[in-house]
Copies of this chain bind each other. A is one copy, B any other.
Amino acid sequence: MTIDRSKISWNGWGWAAHADALAGRDEVWSWLAAELGMPALLATPARTLESITLQPPRLDAEARAKFESILGAERVKDGTYERIFHARGRSYHDLLWLRSGEIPNPPDAVLYPRSADDVLALLHAAGELGVAVVPFGGGTSVVGGVTADTGSFGAVVTLDMSDMDRLLAVDPVAMTATAEAGIYGPALEKALGEQGFTLGHFPQSFEFSTLGGWIAHRGAGQNSLGYGRSVDWLVAAKLATPRGVLTAGGYPASAAGPQLLDLVLGSEGIFGVVTEATVRLHRKPAASDYRGYLFHDFGSGAEAIREAVQSGIPAAMLRLSDAGETRFYRAFGALGKKRGLRGRIEDFVLNSRGFDDKACALVAGFEGGDADVARGRAAFAAIAKKHRALSLGEGQGRRWKEGRFHGPYMREPMMEHGVGVDTLETATRWSNVETLYVAVQDALEKAIRETAPRDGAHGVVQCHISHAYPDGASLYFTYIFPRALDREIDQWRTIKTAASDAIAAHGGTISHHHGVGEDHLPWIAGEKGALGIDVLRAVKMALDPKGVMNPGKLVP
């Protein structure tokens, strides 16, 4: 395993020892209470691990013996910590359960295969025994993709892939690499970097997620504009299924019928387990430039991104915060700081140039050779200038890059203070971005008000465009709301449902890069159509005829 799991939080995000940047900062909480229309925020601590009692493992002796015969006894684990760690992903919803100590359906054992043969043997055994199997990479799903679910069976095991973590081969001529799927992001990048390459896949979960997970949930990294999404960089994959190994892809291009990679990408473990993948590499960038801009409004910022992407400017990332997100982080950053001369000059300059509370911050990132970076930066600067944006310089970009993986750490301090924070995302064509943005924003704000613990309380809803394509873009919403402590699962679901209904009604996909899991299941049939669902079911029947693979995910 290329990560020390014992140092990862079992009921929150990331490193357990990660410092709480908000500890002791009372001004933050009084400010946030005001932002949410609340008189004050309550302390809402999590249960300790020691205080939690799980139901006993439901795996019978025969099943346990069978799994042990395949892996060895030490690779079949059912201690409380293991079962809780693997019970759920790391969504807000998951954290509600984990922090409450109510974990009604943890896996009955966690299995650690070391090879594709191990996986095949385990899946075959699970089919014979009638035990559900949940594939697990880093476990950072935020859509219920790894929730232990028995389906129609009496027990469920989680298949933890983290011991299948070898970089198997690098082809420096074709610029591809083949690795086992359980390798974590940092270990993969380190191994590739030693040979001068990068995959360039940096989702916010990068430190805690695996190659197989990125593929299984059809993910996108923050630099997808420069390095592609998983659908772009995946060349070949091996999927271990209860019926054997499906090998998909493997050629730089082929017209020999469907390549089946599309059935692996986003398959979320319902057909099988990704055990190995071949991916396209890039040379480690010689140069990198991240910088900030301020646009007068969301519309002009979005237009700038569209123009940049449609004209093929070589950017690694273009990320536009809406006015709400821009204002929130500016106010948050200013908290507890003295507003000196510099700040007043800054305000004066902004006002004199016509920037008001509709102003939107954009971070533009460029990576590659010196010439490409210079060209991309200059070309985007020209577009920004055309839209009368203000250049904020490199400091803004550097700060974003330094904190690029830290966002999720903010959830726990908030949850400790009676505040909920969740995110969701979608994508649509450029001609529909504004419509979808308004619809989802409105739905979130309305649902938060309606589910708030008291009259007059409301949410903070923010949005950014973080991934752009020639034909459209993603919208990523973050919403902060006062928790209704007596009905918080309902509250979460009501808000989520309102937003998801708005997405479906206004031409967005139910997920741009989080996946479907359990949480988006109610919207998938609408998006795929009945015949699309039939096709996915037919594929599942062909590969997993007994239906043991990851019950309750992706397909209703």
Q: Which residue of B lies closest to A248 (CB)?
A: B532
Residues of B within 8 A of A514 (CB): 255
CB <8 Å contact, A471 and B219: no
Given contacts A247-B529, A534-B542, A543-B535, contact A261 B260 (CB under 8 A): no
Interface string of A230-255 (1 = CB under 8 A from B): 01000100000101111110111111
Tell me if A467 counts as interface (CB < 8 A to partner B).
Answer: yes
CB <8 Å contact, A431 and B174: yes
Number of interface residues of A (CB under 8 A): 87
Tell me if A527 counts as interface (CB < 8 A to partner B).
Answer: yes
* Interface-centre pick from A217, A267, A470, A554 (highest chain B CB count, 10 A): A470
Tell me if A485 counts as interface (CB < 8 A to partner B).
Answer: no
In Å, the complex CA distance between A528 and B174 comes to: 22
Tell me if A265 counts as interface (CB < 8 A to partner B).
Answer: yes
Tell me, rounded to whole Å, the shortest Cβ–Cβ distance linking A69 to chain B: 25
CB <8 Å contact, A472 and B252: yes
CB <8 Å contact, A254 and B512: yes
Residues of B within 8 A of A235 (CB): 471
8 A Cβ contacts from A495-520 to B: 508-516, 520
CB <8 Å contact, B535 and A542: yes
CB <8 Å contact, A256 and B509: yes
Residues of B within 8 A of A250 (CB): 509
CB <8 Å contact, B539 and A538: yes
Tell me if A258 counts as interface (CB < 8 A to partner B).
Answer: yes
Of the candidate stretches A13-21, A183-191, A318-326, A422-430, the one touching chain B is A422-430
Q: Name A534's contact: one of B243, B257, B259, B527 (CB within 8 Å).
A: B243
In Å, the complex CA distance between A250 and B244 comes to: 32
Q: Name A220's contact: one of B255, B262, B369, B527 (CB within 8 Å).
A: B255
Tell me, rounded to whole Å, the shortest Cβ–Cβ distance linking A541 to chain B: 6
CB <8 Å contact, A428 and B251: yes
Tell me if A88 counts as interface (CB < 8 A to partner B).
Answer: no
CB <8 Å contact, B536 and A258: yes
In Å, the complex CA distance between A257 and B264 comes to: 9
CB <8 Å contact, A535 and B524: no
Tell me if A409 counts as interface (CB < 8 A to partner B).
Answer: no
Residues of B within 8 A of A527 (CB): 256
CB <8 Å contact, A471 and B280: yes
Given contacts A262-B263, A531-B543, contact A509 B173 (CB under 8 A): no
Residues of B within 8 A of A312 (CB): 314, 368, 372
8 A Cβ contacts from A117-173 to B: 171, 173
Residues of B within 8 A of A513 (CB): 253, 255
Tell me, rounded to whole Å, the shortest Cβ–Cβ distance linking A223 to chain B: 14
Residues of B within 8 A of A431 (CB): 171, 173-174
Tell me if A310 counts as interface (CB < 8 A to partner B).
Answer: yes
CB <8 Å contact, A265 and B256: no
In Å, the complex CA distance between A511 and B253 comes to: 9
Tell me if A266 counts as interface (CB < 8 A to partner B).
Answer: yes
Tell me if A175 counts as interface (CB < 8 A to partner B).
Answer: yes
CB <8 Å contact, A174 and B257: no
Tell me if A483 counts as interface (CB < 8 A to partner B).
Answer: no
CB <8 Å contact, B253 and A427: yes
* Interface-centre pick from A171, A253, A430, A512 (highest chain B CB count, 10 A): A253
Tell me if A100 counts as interface (CB < 8 A to partner B).
Answer: no
Q: Which residue of B lies closest to A230 (CB)?
A: B255
Residues of B within 8 A of A524 (CB): 256-257
Residues of B within 8 A of A554 (CB): 257
In Å, the complex CA distance between A324 and B430 comes to: 48
Interface string of A425-440 (1 = CB under 8 A from B): 0011111100000000
8 A Cβ contacts from A360-376 to B: 368-369, 372
Tell me if A316 counts as interface (CB < 8 A to partner B).
Answer: no
* Interface-centre pick from A253, A255, A543 (highest chain B CB count, 10 A): A255
Tell me if A469 counts as interface (CB < 8 A to partner B).
Answer: yes
Residues of B within 8 A of A175 (CB): 310, 430, 470-471
CB <8 Å contact, A260 and B218: no
Tell me if A473 counts as interface (CB < 8 A to partner B).
Answer: yes
Residues of B within 8 A of A231 (CB): 253
CB <8 Å contact, A516 and B256: yes
In Å, the complex CA distance between A368 and B313 comes to: 13
In Å, the complex CA distance between A519 and B68 comes to: 49
Residues of B within 8 A of A474 (CB): 253
User: Chain A interface (Cβ within 8 Å of chain B)?
Assistant: 171, 173-176, 217-220, 229, 231, 235, 241, 243-248, 250-263, 265-268, 280, 306, 310-312, 314, 368-369, 372, 427-432, 467, 469-474, 508-516, 520, 524, 527-532, 534-539, 541-543, 554-555
Closest 6 CB pairs of A and B: A252-B472, A262-B262, A538-B542, A254-B509, A174-B429, A173-B431
Instruction: Give me 19 other A-B pairs in contact (C-beta within 8 A), A250-B509, A531-B542 excluded.
Output: A173-B431, A176-B471, A219-B255, A231-B253, A244-B530, A246-B532, A252-B470, A253-B509, A254-B510, A255-B509, A255-B512, A255-B514, A256-B524, A256-B528, A260-B262, A312-B314, A535-B542, A538-B539, A538-B542
